[in-house]
Homo-oligomer: A and B are copies of this chain.
Amino acid sequence: MHILLTNDDGIAAPGIQALWQELASIAEITVVAPDSERSAMSQAITVHHPIRVDKSSIAGANVQAWRVGGTPTDCVKIALEALLDKKPDIVVSGINNGPNMGTDVLYSGTVSAAIEGALHGIPAIAVSLACWHAADYVPAARFAAKAVQELLTRSLPPNTLLNINVPDLPQDKITGVEITKLGVIEYENTFERRMDPRGRTYYWMGGSQVDIENEDGTDVAALKNGKISVTPIHFDLTNYGIMHSLEEWNLKI
């Protein structure tokens, strides 16, 4: 089995290290990851600048690796279309430092990298740990290894991938695994206005999460209850349900 690993926290991040350490016992690993942190990049690609790609080594590991001066989606594209001799069996993106749940998934570089794998017809999973600080990635890495093996024995329909979020708990405190739908996440006080020493205005995007009710069955609710969430993701953005009613609109040239 050959696994392509990527992430959006950069090739040196602890999350991706935990992942290849766990997965190296069951598969051949190739890491193609950003040279530095590229979070919140969504599915951005680099089309107006050249992309640096350097062969990298991972100390003490029999893992092939490249570091890329680009976005997570660049990494998957360039791996599949330029670097690898053969298609990997699966793309795994993560383990992200921080959750990727609900509407936040739209901004996520981690999830978008997995989407890019699925766009190329390759089974893909994204894995995130719901913690922003120094954390133990081992329970998440172990669960990722299980999901990888399960995904390759079962199969997903085309254009579908799995988005996994793991609570920041010791393995024996995790209360279960739930198949979920995406919930809703909202922020308040998002922008902080500041003045630079020359009197010009700039803003920082920040904000704190609003504690809104997420019903049972969502990824957000599952994590709150100490569970791992597994959300099947598709990326067909057509809203088929309203196509018929749009025919009645007065949209003529």
A interface with B by C-beta (< 8 Å): 37, 39-48, 50-54, 71, 73-74, 77-78, 81-82, 103, 105-107, 112, 115, 119, 139, 143, 146-147, 150, 154, 156-157, 160, 171, 174, 176-177, 179, 181-182, 190-191, 193-194, 200-206, 228, 230-243, 246-247, 249-253
Contacts and interface: CB of A to CB of B under 8 A. Distances in A.
11 contacts: A40-B45, A54-B201, A77-B191, A81-B191, A82-B190, A103-B235, A146-B250, A150-B251, A156-B242, A177-B252, A182-B236
Interface of A is mostly: mixed
Contact of A42 (B43, B119, B202): B43
Contacts of A160: 239, 242
A136 to B, nearest CB: 14
A190 B150 CA distance: 32
Nearest to A103: B119
Given A45-B107, A194-B50, A246 B179 contact: yes
A173 to B, nearest CB: 10
Q: Report, nearest first, the 10 A-B pairs whose CB atoms are least far apart.
A: A42-B42, A42-B43, A234-B239, A232-B239, A82-B191, A181-B238, A50-B202, A44-B44, A42-B44, A179-B246
Contacts of A78: 191, 203, 205
Given A233-B237, A235-B106, A202 B52 contact: yes
Nearest to A219: B238
Given A74-B205, A105-B237, A181 B243 contact: yes
